[in-house]
Amino acid sequence: MIETTVAPVIDPDFLALVLDHVKVEPGDEETAYGDLVEAYLEAAIGRIESASGRCLFTRTMKLTTDAFVTALIIPASPVISVASVTYIDVAGAEQTLAPSSYSLINRLETPALFAAHGAEFPKARDYPGSITVTFDAGYGAAVAEIPPQLRMAVMQTVADWFRFGGNVATTSTMELPANARRACMNFRREWA
């Protein structure tokens, strides 16, 4: 199971960029449009993250698994760092692995934790959720750190939803624009 324990913070510069893209002035008398665009931005980021398999802004996540295996695949990308790896040992006590006892192989396609060279993971209790990996994932805190294709995919999605939001006969806010979907496919990875 994977969960976000510290939610990402959207860079205010991204909101300003998107407001400019859809031609809504910040502080304009039509502040309801600004609020709507902000809501669309949050939703579009989530949709682009789902479609691309990438975390755009930095967040802290926790992966819980049942056993140590050769490689603990981390189903989030890119991984910035691993904060801790804890496990329940066979006696039932919680233990923390020393950072020197594991290696993060952080290829964007399949970030994974391996036991350090020449070592093995310790024996863990045979019980659901006995291993927990806490890590930070995402491209960074600033919009400039997100790949341009994914930034544009978010902007296209917000613009599309803003433009067609009231016209349910021709579009749905559930769908991504075709160009945004294609941009995401360049980043998509298959989960192991």
Its pTM stands at 0.84
Q: In this predicted model, which residue has the larger pLDDT, 26 or 81?
A: 81
- Residue (of 103, 42, 95) closest to 71 by Cα position: 103
* Main-chain phi, psi angles of 137, to 5 degrees: -135, 155
pLDDT-based confidence at residue 65 (cuts at 50, 70, 90): very high
The pLDDT assigned to 167 comes to 45
Provide the mean pLDDT of the chain.
88
pLDDT of 104 higher than 70: yes
Q: What is the pLDDT of residue 41?
A: 94
Residues of the chain with pLDDT > 70, as a percent, come to: 89
**Single-letter amino acid, residue 96:** T
Q: What is the mean pLDDT of residues 135-163?
A: 94
Say if residue 145's pLDDT is above 90. yes
C-alpha angle with apex 44: 164 to 173, nearest 5 degrees? Answer: 35
What is the C-alpha to C-alpha distance for residues 148 and 4, in angstroms, rounded to an integer? 24
Kindly state the tokens that stand for 174. 């559930």
Band the pLDDT of 107: cuts 50, 70, 90.
confident
Note the pLDDT tens digit of each residue in 155-185: 999 999 988 874 444 445 557 888 999 999 8
**Model confidence pLDDT, tens digit, residues 19-51:** 999 888 766 556 778 888 899 999 999 999 999
Q: What is the pLDDT of residue 28?
A: 54
